[in-house]
Amino acid sequence: MSSLDEILGFLHYNPDSTRSEIAENLANPPSPSSMKRLLSDAVENGMIAIDGRGRASRYSLTPKAHLLRTYDVDEYFKKEIDERTVQTSFNFDLLENLLPKVELFSGDEMRRLDALQRKFTENISKISADSYNAEMERLGIDLSWKSSQIEGNTYSLLETERLLRERKQADGKSREEAIMLLNHKEALRFLLENPDYLQSLSVSRIEDVHSILVRDLNVERNIRRSRVGITGTNYRPLDNDFQIRKAMELACNLINGRKNVFERSMLSVLLLSYIQPFADGNKRTSRIVGNAVLIAEKCCPLSFRSVDSLKYKEAVLVFYEQNNISAFKKMFIDQYDFAVNTYF
């Protein structure tokens, strides 16, 4: 861990600290001159806010640093669930004050994403409608498989392909696993036939997508009225429908207000997962909604096929526990690259 990362980590839990207080609590404090330079550079780069002058100056993280500072995810999860210092309750300030103030992608990241989008647009301009539909079907099979696998579905990719194309269930697999996969196919089909359906997000339309994904799975539809827990974390989602609906409306307004389609898509995935508005099927819904945002703007959808399921869950848990998007953002960009260069 670099000295700057250590400083940012300390300030995350100890805002309004002086330079000497920061130095006293670092495992490997830099020299006084190096500390002064590190803090000055971090202030200039918008990662640290300063209040006061000289030795009386106090330092805190900016919204940008809270959201974007780098996490070593492997190191983070070396600590067991009860050893980690985490945000245990839902953070409304994230939606109302932190996220609205920060551009989530750097200039270099946007240049990479924009170049990939240009490549996708050029690629699909050169193929027939039949070829486009065939590639979208292939992407949809991969998405249905990986999105379900992340949730514990045991179908292989080849078994998923046969199920979705021939409706032949795999031997030894449960009926519920097959339904989960078929519902993914149906949700994606609906959004491809209605590409503008989630161009502007609303609670009711997200509920519609969720209803498709949990059809015939004995899952309560619409905003939940009971408490849910999440395995592997001490983060506790909201537990009453009034607050859940308020959080969903804030999230929809925040996402709809962003001009950047990649921000809108990524925030859809993260915030729906974070809010956990439904009794079950939250992350499945978030991935389909995030893709619907891309489809509405004629961008390449994500299959998530090459994602390691454990790494995906860890990146999401870092967002739950620390409200930090750095790990998930890297995964999102890599998956957009993978999709553009694998399909079409």
Residues 10 and 119 in one domain: no
Helix axes 326-342, 261-275, angle to 10 degrees: 120
- Same domain for 196 and 313, yes or no, is yes
54 and 130 in a single domain? The answer is no
| pLDDT, position 214 | 98
> What is the rounded (10 degree) CA torsion for 237, 239, 243, 249?
50
Q: What is the DSSP letter of 268?
A: H
Helix (H) or strand (E) holding 328: helix 326-342
Single-letter amino acid code for the residue at 191: L
Specify the pLDDT at position 1. 67
Over residues 39-48, the pLDDT tens digits come to 999 999 999 9
State whether 136 and 196 are in the same domain. yes
Does the pTM surpass 0.85? The reply is yes
Low-confidence ranges of the chain (pLDDT < 70): 1
Cβ(265)–Cβ(291) below 8 Å: yes
DSSP secondary structure string for all residues of 80-100? -TTTS----B--HHIIIIIGG
For residue 59, the cross-strand partners are 17, 50
CATH of the domain at 22: 1.10.10.10
Q: Which residue range forms the structural domain that includes residue 50?
A: 3-61
* Integer Cα distance of 271 and 136 in angstroms: 26
Q: Which helix (H) or strand (E) holds 50?
A: strand 48-51
CATH number, domain containing residue 272: 1.10.3290.10
Decide: 322 and 71 in contact? Cβ < 8 Å. Answer: yes
Q: What is residue 270's three-state secondary structure?
A: helix
Q: Tell me if 23 is assigned to some domain.
A: yes
Q: Do 96 and 50 belong together in one domain?
A: no
Give yes or no: residues 110 and 152 share one domain.
yes
**Same domain flag for 45 and 174:** no
Domain count, the chain: 2
Residues 251 and 332 reside in one and the same domain: yes
Same domain for 26 and 126, yes or no, is no
Whether residues 45 and 107 share a domain: the answer is no
